[in-house]
Each structure stands twice: as structure tokens, then as C-alpha cells.
Structure 1
Amino acid sequence: MMKDSAPGRDETPQERADRLWNEMLQEVRVCQTGAQILFGFLIGVAFTPRFAVLPDFDKSLYVATVVLGAIATGALIAPVAFHRFLAGHGRKPELIQIAGRLIATGLTTLALTIAAALLLLLRTATGSPAAAWMLSATVLLWFTSTWLVLPQVVLRREAAGRMATSERDDADGDRSP
């Protein structure tokens, strides 16, 4: 049987798809739980006595936060529902691609939900809109740095290292008798 697998692995395409799917499920379980808990807390805010006296901006921010939370929760749960419909149809590689996009959407909206919820909380808790915006923006920048930028830096370093190794190997080959 011909093996077509990831570098450093001896697996068939189906084995690779199974492994990637299991890895995705493990990763998304953490995010799903956090998104669901956050969404549950957000829903309860509208039923508190203080909600009625919030300024219009904060009420609008709350609505946007709840909608973002619903989108994040839905996007992070969607791969499981998608899998249920495609299970047994030999479509796992396609499922992995789509689930990856859904998880990326879920993580993005989860980061926005957390930043918006933090903004709402800090506007109320500190009484300083400027401080609330600054702190919330800092947290969103942190998410962007650790969730998006850092992985890209690692990938670029790895690619640069492979390129340097390849160039060294090519240069060594030119010197061979």
C-alpha cells in the first residue's frame, strides 16, 4: 500500500485524516467549553437589575457581545454537527478543511467576545471608558499576538530553517566529485 503522509510520519491518507480529526476534536473541546460558559454568563446579564440602568452604548455593546458569543459557540460546535452528517461518506479530508475554517471563525469571534465582554465589564467597574478601551484593546492585541502572530513566526522560522538546510545541501552537492 502506498503511503502519502505528513513529513516524518508513515501513515495512509485515511490514517492521516483520522489523526488530524482526533487532534482537532481535542483542541476544540477546550474552546467549546469556554465559549459555552461565557455565553451562559452573558445571557444572564440582561436579567440583572443593573442592566436596565446601563447607558444605551453599554446596552448596544452587550447585544453585540451576546451575538458574537452565539456565533463563537455555534462555530465551535459546528464541526461536530458537520461530522454527524458526513460520517461514513468518506469525506473526512474535506471535513477537516471545513472544520479548520469553522474553528478559526470560532476562535476569532471568541476573542472578540472576550474583548467586548471585558470592555463592558471594565466600563461598568472602573467608570473610566478610556481605561476600559485601553485594557480591552490590550487583551485583544494579546490574543492576536499569541493566537495568530506567534504561530506565523514559528512557521516562518521553520520554513527559513528548511530553506537554509536545503541551500547547504545543494552547496555541498556542488562540491562533490
Structure 2
Amino acid sequence: MWGDLIQEVRVAQTGVQILFGFLLTVVFTPKYAELEHADQVIYIVTVVLGAAATGALIGPVSLHRLVSGRRIKPQMVRWASRLTFVGLILLLATMTAALLLILRVATHDGFVPYLVAAVVLWYLLCWFALPLWARHRHTSRSDAAR
């Protein structure tokens, strides 16, 4: 299970690191000073969420490095899995806040919250609903007990 988990984390890490790197540059652009106060607050929240997501998604690598060889792989896999799940939740929040900020700045239109909500629903469907449905549909009770 460790190998599968690390492959999953690699995909999520790449996305969150690219997004976080981009977010870090925004404050140094001339446009940042022109943002409304609310948009600056959304930006700060987005950066903090991105930093937290990055920490959670890099956490399993550090965990593995620091406890490797200590014969606690089952516990390590459980903790790394939990960190990855928290990282995905934080990534969802980061993506939501970033999308909200970008669309507010780009359009200044009242439909922005609805568009953001639609994208968040799409993320929830792809990231959580479909996997949970597949788990429920294709896992027997005896598999779940193991």
C-alpha cells in the first residue's frame, strides 16, 4: 500500500506546488496593490491554504524518511494516508479560493459564486463521490473487514 500511496501523493504534490508557486508571485505584481480589500483577504487565505496543503502533501515523504526501518510500516501508511486526505481537502479549499479570487478580479460579475460552486461540485464528484461510490459498489463486506 505504501507504493500506491506515494504515487498518489506525487500527483497531488505536483499540482499543489505549481499552484502555490504561482500564488507566491502574485503579491509582487503591480496589480496586487489595486485589488479591493476583500480580494486581498481572499488572496491571503488562498496562500495560507496552499501552504497548508503543501505541508500535508509533503508530510508522507518526511514521515517515511524519519521512521523508515523502524518496523512500523502499517502505522506509517495509516498516518501518511490521513495526511494525504487532509492535503486533498486543503487542496480543494485552495483551488476554490484561487478560483474565486481569479474570477472576481477577471469578471466583477454576480455569477462568480455560482460558477465557483459548480466547479467545487465537480471536484467533489471527481475526488470524493465517485471513489466512495466505487468503494461501496465494488467492495464486499468481507473486504472491508480486513
TM-score with structure 1 length normalisation? 0.77
Matched, 1:68 2:68: no
Superposition map of 1:12-23 within 5 A: 20-23=1-4
Give RMSD over aligned pairs: 1.1
Provide the residue aligned with 1:30 in structure 2: 11
Counting matched residue pairs gives: 141
SS at match of 1:136: helix
SS at match of 1:22: helix
User: CA–CA distance in 2 between the matches of 1:80 and 1:137?
Assistant: 32
> Structure 2 residue aligned with 1:151, among 124, 127, 131?
131
Provide the residue aligned with 1:132 in structure 2: 112
Superposition map of 1:1-177 within 5 A: 20-128=1-109, 130-159=110-139, 162=140
Cα shift at 1:151: 1.2
Q: Deviations over 1:53-100 (max 9, x none)?
A: 111110000000000000110100000001111011001100000000
Unaligned runs of 5+ in 2: 142-146
User: CA–CA distance in 1 between the matches of 2:68 and 2:20?
Assistant: 29
User: CA–CA distance in 2 between the matches of 1:143 and 1:29?
Assistant: 19
**What is the letter of the counterpart of residue 111 of structure 1?**
L
**What is the letter of the counterpart of residue 137 of structure 1?**
A
User: CA–CA distance in 1 between the matches of 2:138 and 2:14?
Assistant: 32
SS at match of 2:123: helix
SS at match of 1:90: coil
Unaligned runs of 5+ in 1: 1-19, 164-177
**What is the letter of the counterpart of residue 101 of structure 2?**
L
User: CA–CA distance in 2 between the matches of 1:53 and 1:127?
Assistant: 14
SS at match of 1:133: helix
Cα shift at 1:158: 2.1
Q: Deviations over 1:40-62 (max 9, x none)?
A: 00010111101111111100000
User: Deviation above 2 Å: which 4+ runs of structure 1?
Assistant: none
TM-score with structure 2 length normalisation? 0.93
Provide the residue aligned with 1:170 in structure 2: none
Higher relative contact order, structure no. (Cα contacts within 8 Å, ≥ 6 residues apart) = 2
